[in-house]
C-alpha cells in the first residue's frame, strides 16, 4: 500500500489523495501554527489559496499540501511551533495581544538599535514559516518559450469556453491551469459542466493544454511565466484571458481561524471528493445557492449536519435542521478546534455544539493576475470578473472574452466583517489590529498593508484584500459593504520556488578568442577578463616579462574591439566622435584616441588608423567593444551621416609581437619592409606574415618595439604557431595579463575601469595631450571647455613606494584620506614598487608624499620606464 512518512509514522494513501487529504484521514487536524500568535491552524479552503496547510515535503518548505498530490515515499513534516506544531509552547503569544499591539516591531525595537539584529533573528525563528534547505543543489527545471495568439489562464467553465471560442476563430490557443482540469472541483454541476466542456477541447482544435502549470504573473509584453512540475514555460501571447475564478469569501468572526472551520468548497472536496468526514457534528452556514449546493453535497455524502442556515426560498436537503435565514456566525468556541458555534439572529444568540463549521457565503474574485496587467491586452472571464455568476454566465463570459470583449462584471461586494476575528490569516492580523492601525492614522489600504502586513502573506490577499480595502474605504465605525481601492497586485500570484525563477537564465556568457586552445596547450592559466576568457600567465610571469623587455614575446590581443568605418561621411564621423585630430592623419598612420561622452568623461580608448581610401580602422578596449559599436552607430543616426560601421571584433584576430627582437622575428616570416622608416612608430602596413595577410600596426602598450598583427580570425592559430615556431632561438615565449600589468604600469599606461572613475575627464588622467581643443567640434568638447575653467581637484598620479603596498589602499596625509592606490606592482626594471593612484588636492595643492598604511608613497612623473620612449621607437 502506498504511504507517506509523516513525522515518524506511516500514513496510507488512497487514489488521488493530496498530501492534506492523506494527513487529514490520518488524524492530523493542526497543520500549521500561525506566525505571530502561534494559534493552531487546520485545513480551510482546499483550493490552494490560504496558507493554513503549508508543510515541508521532502525538505522543501511551505508546500501547499491541499493541492499537492501525495506520492508513495514522500517525507512530510509540519513546520512552526516549538517544540512541535501539535504542542507549541510559543502559543503563549496568543495571550499576549495587549503587549504585542499592531506595529509591535516598529514600536518596540527602535531603541536600542543594536537590539534589532538580535531580535530579528529570534523573531524569524519563532515564526516557524519554514527553513530553507541548505547544502543541496537547486533543481533547475528546463525553461522553454511558447508563442501563442491567446493564452487562457484557468481551465474552469469560463476558461474552457474562452479557449474553445478563440480556437474556433482560428487563433492558436494555450490553455493552462494550475491543477488538472476539474481536479479541485467538488462533485456537482460545475464539475459535470467542466468535463463536458473539456470534451470539446481536443488537441486538433489548435488548443495546447498545459495542466498543472501555474501562472506566476503577468508582465509587460505581455509575458506570462508558467511554472509546471517539470518545466517552466515562458509564454509570449498576443493577448491573455484570465479565468482564474473566485475563492470563497473568507468570513470574519471571533474564532474564524480555528481548525474545524471550513470554506464550503473545501469541506465538500474533503467529504465528497476524498471521502473523509470533516466532523461528527457539522453546522453549515450558506449564504448563496452555491452554499446550498454544498450543504446538499455534504448531506448526500453522509455528513451529519446538525444545523444549517440557508437563504430564504432555497430548497434544503431532506431532514436538515434549519435555523433562521438571517442567522450569522458570531463566534466559534473551542480550545484547539471547534467546540461550538454561536449564531446570532434577530431574536438572540444560539449556541450549537459541533466540531465542524462550514461557511459558504459568497465568492471573492481571484483576480491578482488581472489586476497586475493594467494597460496590457488582458481581459477577465467568468467569476474573476463576475463573482457568483452562474455556470451559463461563466461560459458566455468566456466566449465574449475570446471575441475580445472586456467583460467587466459588477464590482465585487465587500465581504461582511464581524467585530472580531482574523482578517488576514497568513499574517495573523485581526479586526482589532486593523482598527487600532486606523485609529493611529494609517488610513489607506496601501499603508494599512505596510503597517500591519495584512495581505502580505502566502495568499497574497486572496482572502483578505477586500476586507482590508473596505475597511480602508469606510473606516472602523461604518458598516463597510462598500469596496475600496485594493492594494497593488504584484507577482508572484502564487508561491513559487526561487529556483524556478532562475529557470531559463543562461550562464555567464564567455567569449573565447581564436587562440583559446593554444593558450591551454601552452599551460596558460585562463580566467575571466571582462566577458572574455584570457590567459593570465603561462606559468612564469617573470620570464614572460623578461621575454618582452629583453627578447621577443607574443600576446593574444584578438579581444580588442575592431571596427571598420566607411561611407562618404566616414571622415566626418571620426572627426566628430573623437577628440584627437583625424583630418591630418596620413594614410596608414595611427593615432591614440579617447572616446568621450557628452559630459567630457572618458568612456574608452583605442586607436584610429586612416586606411587611405576614405575608410578608418578603429580599435577599442576589449571590454568596451560592444559599447563602442553602439556608440558609433548611435552618433551616425544622430548626426544623420552617410557612414557605416562594421564590427570586425569577431572577424579579426590580433597578436602583439613585442620585444627588442620582434622585428627580427617578423622579418623571418615576411618579405615586407618592416624597418623603422617603412613602418615607423604609429605607422601601419598591410603585410603578409607566414603567408597570412595582416594589418601590422606599429603600436604597443608595453613600451618596447612592437607590432600588432590584425588578421583573419580563422588563421590566428596558424600565425601563432608560425611566430612561436620561428622564434625559438630568439627566446620567444607568450606573455599573459599578469606580465602585461607590470609592463604597462612601468610605462604609466592606465587600465580604463581599474585606474579610472566614471567622471574622469582627460585632464584628470594626464591625457590632455590626446585632446585637440583647436578642433571646432567633437563629442564632449563643450564640457571640457567648461571644466577647464576650474582647477583640478583630483588627478591620477604615478607613485613609488618604500615597500610593497596593497592595491586599493587609501592614501593619507596625516589622518586625512586624500586618495587611493589603483594599481601597483614590483617593477623589475626599477627594482622598486611602483603604482598609480588617485590623489586629491589639499589646500589647493596636490600632496607629494603620502602614507598607505605603513608604506610611504611618493608622487613621481610617469613613465617610470624608458621615459623618452626610445625603445618603443626603435
- DSSP three-state, residue 561: strand
Question: Which residues in 355-384 contact other proteins (CB under 8 A)?
Answer: none
* 3-class DSSP string for 836-853: EEEEECECCECCCEEEEC
Looking at the Cβ atoms of 714 and 869, the one nearer to other proteins is 714
- The contact pattern for other proteins, residues 526-555, with x = CB under 8 A and - = no contact, is ------x-----------------------
The Cα 491–Cα 697 span in angstroms is 55
Examine residue 794 and tell whether it contacts other proteins (CB under 8 A).
Answer: no
Q: Which stretch binds other proteins (CB under 8 A): 40-48, 306-314, 332-340, 511-519?
A: 511-519
Looking at the Cβ atoms of 450 and 512, the one nearer to other proteins is 512
- The contact pattern for other proteins, residues 116-145, with x = CB under 8 A and - = no contact, is --------------------------xxxx
Residue 237: CB minimum distance to other proteins, A:
11
Examine residue 621 and tell whether it contacts other proteins (CB under 8 A).
Answer: no
**Sign, Cα dihedral of 504, 508, 513, 518:** negative
Cell of 719: 600565425
Examine residue 90 and tell whether it contacts other proteins (CB under 8 A).
Answer: no
Q: Pick the closest to residue 446 from 479, 420, 428, 472 (CA basis).
A: 472
Looking at the Cβ atoms of 618 and 797, the one nearer to other proteins is 618
Burial code (b: 16+ CB inside 10 Å, e: under 16) for 249-271 equals: bbbbbbbbbbbbbbbbbbbbbbb
The Cα 461–Cα 589 span in angstroms is 69
Looking at the Cβ atoms of 67 and 565, the one nearer to other proteins is 565
Q: Which residue has the cell 519563532?
A: 126
To 10 degrees, what angle do helices 465-474 and 445-452 make?
A: 120
Q: Pick the closest to residue 781 from 565, 594, 509 (CA basis).
A: 594
CB 565 within 8 A of CB 645: yes
Examine residue 675 and tell whether it contacts other proteins (CB under 8 A).
Answer: no
Cell of 133: 534547505
Examine residue 564 and tell whether it contacts other proteins (CB under 8 A).
Answer: yes
- The contact pattern for other proteins, residues 721-750, with x = CB under 8 A and - = no contact, is ------------------------------
Examine residue 509 and tell whether it contacts other proteins (CB under 8 A).
Answer: yes
Q: Which stretch binds other proteins (CB under 8 A): 247-255, 453-461, 559-567, 579-587?
A: 559-567
Examine residue 622 and tell whether it contacts other proteins (CB under 8 A).
Answer: no
The Cα 765–Cα 266 span in angstroms is 71
Examine residue 812 and tell whether it contacts other proteins (CB under 8 A).
Answer: no
Q: Which stretch binds other proteins (CB under 8 A): 8-16, 199-207, 287-295, 503-511?
A: 503-511
Question: Which residues in 211-270 contact other proteins (CB under 8 A)?
Answer: 234, 236
Examine residue 816 and tell whether it contacts other proteins (CB under 8 A).
Answer: no
Examine residue 324 and tell whether it contacts other proteins (CB under 8 A).
Answer: no
Cell of 187: 462533485
Looking at the Cβ atoms of 274 and 710, the one nearer to other proteins is 710
| C-alpha atoms less than 13 angstroms from C-alpha of 660 in its C-beta half-sphere | 10
CB 6 within 8 A of CB 76: yes
Q: Pick the closest to residue 303 from 257, 352, 354, 362 (CA basis).
A: 354
**Sign, Cα dihedral of 733, 736, 741, 745:** positive
Q: Which residue has the cell 498593508?
A: 449
Residue 559: CB minimum distance to other proteins, A:
8
Looking at the Cβ atoms of 196 and 646, the one nearer to other proteins is 646
- DSSP three-state, residue 465: helix
Examine residue 710 and tell whether it contacts other proteins (CB under 8 A).
Answer: no
Q: Residue 619's beta-bridge partner residues?
A: 562, 607
Q: Which residue has the cell 483578505?
A: 464
Looking at the Cβ atoms of 564 and 672, the one nearer to other proteins is 564
Examine residue 521 and tell whether it contacts other proteins (CB under 8 A).
Answer: no
Looking at the Cβ atoms of 194 and 227, the one nearer to other proteins is 227
Examine residue 520 and tell whether it contacts other proteins (CB under 8 A).
Answer: no
Examine residue 511 and tell whether it contacts other proteins (CB under 8 A).
Answer: yes
Residue 646: CB minimum distance to other proteins, A:
6
CB 797 within 8 A of CB 821: no
Q: Which of 539, 675, 714, 808 binds other proteins (CB under 8 A)?
A: 714
Burial code (b: 16+ CB inside 10 Å, e: under 16) for 342-376 equals: bbbeeeeeeeeebbbbbbbbbbbbbbbbbbbbeeb
Residue 538: CB minimum distance to other proteins, A:
21
Cell of 172: 492558436
Examine residue 568 and tell whether it contacts other proteins (CB under 8 A).
Answer: yes
Looking at the Cβ atoms of 224 and 310, the one nearer to other proteins is 224
Question: How many residues line the site for other proteins (CB under 8 A)?
Answer: 39
* 3-class DSSP string for 483-511: CCCCCCCCCCCCCCCHHHHCCCCCCCCCE
Examine residue 512 and tell whether it contacts other proteins (CB under 8 A).
Answer: yes
The Cα 308–Cα 331 span in angstroms is 15
Looking at the Cβ atoms of 146 and 496, the one nearer to other proteins is 146
Looking at the Cβ atoms of 142 and 691, the one nearer to other proteins is 142
Q: Residue 617's beta-bridge partner residues?
A: 564, 609
Examine residue 563 and tell whether it contacts other proteins (CB under 8 A).
Answer: no
Q: Which of 408, 520, 650, 676 binds other proteins (CB under 8 A)?
A: 650
Examine residue 693 and tell whether it contacts other proteins (CB under 8 A).
Answer: no
Looking at the Cβ atoms of 648 and 862, the one nearer to other proteins is 648
Q: Which stretch binds other proteins (CB under 8 A): 47-55, 372-380, 650-658, 757-765?
A: 650-658
Examine residue 630 and tell whether it contacts other proteins (CB under 8 A).
Answer: no
To 10 degrees, what angle do helices 541-550 and 737-746 make?
A: 50
Examine residue 510 and tell whether it contacts other proteins (CB under 8 A).
Answer: yes
Q: Which of 89, 403, 646, 874 binds other proteins (CB under 8 A)?
A: 646
For β-strands 143-153 and 173-176, DSSP reports them as parallel
For residue 134, the tally of other CB atoms under 10 A from its CB is 6
DSSP state of 528: E
Examine residue 642 and tell whether it contacts other proteins (CB under 8 A).
Answer: yes
Examine residue 771 and tell whether it contacts other proteins (CB under 8 A).
Answer: no
For residue 9, the tally of other CB atoms under 10 A from its CB is 10
Q: Which of 309, 570, 779, 839 binds other proteins (CB under 8 A)?
A: 570
Burial class of residue 43, CB neighbours in 10 A (0-12, 13-18, 19+): buried
Binding site for other proteins (CB under 8 A): 142-147, 234, 236, 504, 506-507, 509-514, 516, 532, 564, 566-568, 570, 614-615, 642, 644-646, 648-652, 712-715
Amino acid at each position: 500500500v502506498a504511504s507517506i512518512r509523516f513525522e515518524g509514522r506511516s500514513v496510507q494513501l488512497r487514489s488521488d489523495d493530496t498530501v492534506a487529504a492523506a494527513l487529514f484521514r490520518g488524524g492530523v487536524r493542526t497543520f500549521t501554527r500561525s506566525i505571530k500568535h502561534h494559534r493552531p491552524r487546520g485545513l480551510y479552503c482546499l483550493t490552494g489559496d490560504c496558507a493554513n496547510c503549508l508543510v515541508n515535503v521532502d525538505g522543501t518548505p511551505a508546500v501547499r499540501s491541499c493541492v499537492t498530490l501525495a506520492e508513495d515515499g514522500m517525507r512530510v513534516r509540519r513546520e512552526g511551533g516549538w517544540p512541535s506544531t501539535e504542542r507549541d509552547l510559543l502559543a503563549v503569544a496568543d495571550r499576549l495581544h495587549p503587549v504585542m499591539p499592531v506595529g509591535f516591531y516598529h514600536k518596540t525595537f527602535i531603541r536600542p538599535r543594536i537590539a534589532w539584529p538580535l531580535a530579528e533573528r529570534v523573531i524569524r525563528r519563532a515564526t516557524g514559516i519554514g527553513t530553507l534547505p541548505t547544502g543541496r543543489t537547486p533543481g533547475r527545471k528546463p525553461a522553454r518559450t511558447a508563442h501563442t495568439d491567446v493564452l487562457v489562464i484557468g481551465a474552469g467553465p469560463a476558461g474552457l469556453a474562452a479557449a474553445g471560442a478563440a480556437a474556433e476563430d482560428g487563433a492558436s490557443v494555450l490553455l493552462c491551469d494550475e491543477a488538472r482540469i476539474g481536479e479541485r472541483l467538488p462533485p456537482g454541476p460545475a464539475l459535470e459542466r467542466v468535463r463536458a466542456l473539456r470534451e470539446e477541447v481536443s488537441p486538433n482544435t489548435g488548443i495546447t493544454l498545459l495542466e498543472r502549470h501555474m501562472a506566476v504573473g503577468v508582465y509587460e509584453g505581455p509575458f506570462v511565466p508558467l511554472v509546471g512540475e517539470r518545466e517552466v514555460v515562458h509564454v509570449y501571447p498576443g493577448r491573455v484571458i484570465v479565468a482564474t475564478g473566485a475563492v470563497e469569501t473568507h468570513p470574519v468572526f471571533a474564532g474564524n481561524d480555528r481548525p474545524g472551520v471550513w470554506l464550503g468548497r473545501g469541506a465538500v472536496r474533503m467529504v465528497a471528493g476524498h471521502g473523509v468526514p470533516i466532523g461528527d457534528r457539522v453546522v453549515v452556514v450558506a449564504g448563496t445557492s452555491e452554499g446550498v449546493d454544498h450543504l446538499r453535497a455534504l448531506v448526500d455524502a453522509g455528513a451529519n449536519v446538525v444545523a444549517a442556515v440557508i437563504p430564504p426560498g432555497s430548497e434544503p436537503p431532506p431532514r436538515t435542521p434549519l435555523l433562521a435565514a438571517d442567522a450569522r456566525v458570531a463566534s466559534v468556541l473551542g480550545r484547539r478546534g471547534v467546540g461550538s458555534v454561536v449564531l446570532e439572529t434577530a431574536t438572540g444568540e444560539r449556541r450549537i455544539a459541533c466540531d465542524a463549521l462550514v461557511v459558504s457565503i459568497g465568492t471573492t474574485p481571484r483576480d491578482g493576475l488581472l489586476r497586475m496587467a493594467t494597460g496590457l491586452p488582458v481581459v477577465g472571464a467568468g467569476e474573476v470578473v463576475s463573482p457568483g455568476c452562474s455556470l451559463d454566465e461563466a461560459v458566455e463570459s468566456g466566449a465574449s472574452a475570446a471575441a475580445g470583449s472586456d467583460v467587466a462584471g459588477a464590482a465585487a461586494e465587500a465581504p461582511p466583517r464581524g467585530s472580531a476575528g482574523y482578517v488576514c490569516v497568513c499574517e495573523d492580523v485581526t479586526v482589532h489590529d486593523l482598527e487600532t492601525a486606523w485609529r493611529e492614522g494609517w488610513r489607506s489600504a496601501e499603508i494599512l498593508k505596510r503597517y500591519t502586513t495584512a495581505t502580505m502573506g502566502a495568499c497574497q490577499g486572496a482572502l483578505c484584500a477586500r476586507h482590508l480595502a473596505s475597511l480602508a474605504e469606510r473606516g472602523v465605525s461604518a458598516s463597510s459593504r462598500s469596496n475600496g481601492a485594493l492594494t497593488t497586485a504584484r507577482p508572484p500570484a502564487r508561491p513559487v520556488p526561487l529556483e524556478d525563477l532562475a529557470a531559463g537564465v543562461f550562464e555567464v556568457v564567455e567569449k573565447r578568442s581564436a587562440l583559446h586552445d593554444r593558450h591551454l596547450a601552452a599551460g596558460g592559466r585562463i580566467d575571466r577578463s571582462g566577458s572574455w576568457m584570457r590567459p593570465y600567465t603561462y606559468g612564469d610571469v617573470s620570464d614572460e616579462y623578461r621575454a618582452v623587455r629583453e627578447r621577443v614575446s607574443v600576446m593574444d590581443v584578438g579581444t580588442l574591439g575592431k571596427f571598420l568605418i566607411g561611407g562618404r561621411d566616414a571622415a566626418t564621423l571620426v572627426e566628430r566622435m573623437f577628440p584627437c585630430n583625424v583630418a591630418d592623419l596620413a594614410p596608414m598612420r595611427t593615432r591614440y584616441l579617447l572616446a568621450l561622452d557628452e559630459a567630457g568623461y572618458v568612456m574608452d580608448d583605442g586607436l584610429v588608423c586612416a586606411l587611405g581610401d576614405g575608410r578608418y580602422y578603429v580599435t577599442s578596449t576589449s571590454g568596451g567593444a560592444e559599447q563602442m559599436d553602439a556608440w558609433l552607430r548611435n552618433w551616425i543616426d544622430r548626426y544623420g551621416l552617410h557612414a557605416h560601421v562594421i564590427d570586425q571584433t569577431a572577424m579579426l584576430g590580433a597578436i602583439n609581437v613585442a620585444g627588442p627582437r620582434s622585428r627580427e622575428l617578423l622579418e623571418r616570416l615576411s618579405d615586407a619592409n618592416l624597418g623603422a622608416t617603412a613602418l615607423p612608430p604609429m605607422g601601419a602596413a598591410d603585410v603578409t606574415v607566414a603567408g597570412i595577410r595582416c594589418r601590422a600596426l606599429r603600436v604597443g602598450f608595453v613600451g618596447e618595439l612592437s607590432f600588432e598583427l590584425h588578421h583573419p580570425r580563422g588563421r590566428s592559430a596558424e600565425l601563432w604557431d608560425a611566430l612561436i615556431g620561428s622564434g625559438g632561438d630568439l627566446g620567444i615565449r607568450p606573455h599573459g595579463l599578469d606580465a602585461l600589468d607590470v609592463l604597462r604600469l612601468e610605462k604609466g599606461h592606465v587600465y580604463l575601469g581599474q585606474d579610472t572613475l566614471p567622471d574622469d575627464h582627460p585632464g584628470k588622467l594626464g591625457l590632455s595631450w590626446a585632446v585637440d581643443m583647436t578642433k571646432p567640434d567633437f563629442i564632449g568638447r563643450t564640457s571640457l571647455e567648461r571644466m577647464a575653467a576650474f582647477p583640478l581637484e583630483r588627478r591620477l598620479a604615478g607613485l613609488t613606494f618604500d615597500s610593497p603596498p596593497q592595491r586599493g589602499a587609501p592614501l593619507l596625509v596625516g589622518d586625512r584620506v586624500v586618495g587611493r592606490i589603483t594599481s601597483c606592482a614590483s617593477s623589475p626594471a626599477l627594482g622598486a614598487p611602483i603604482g598609480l593612484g588617485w590623489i586629491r588636492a589639499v589646500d589647493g595643492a596636490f600632496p607629494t608624499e603620502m602614507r598607505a598604511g605603513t608604506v610611504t608613497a611618493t608622487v613621481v612623473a610617469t613613465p617610470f620606464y624608458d621615459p623618452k620612449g626610445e625603445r618603443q621607437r626603435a
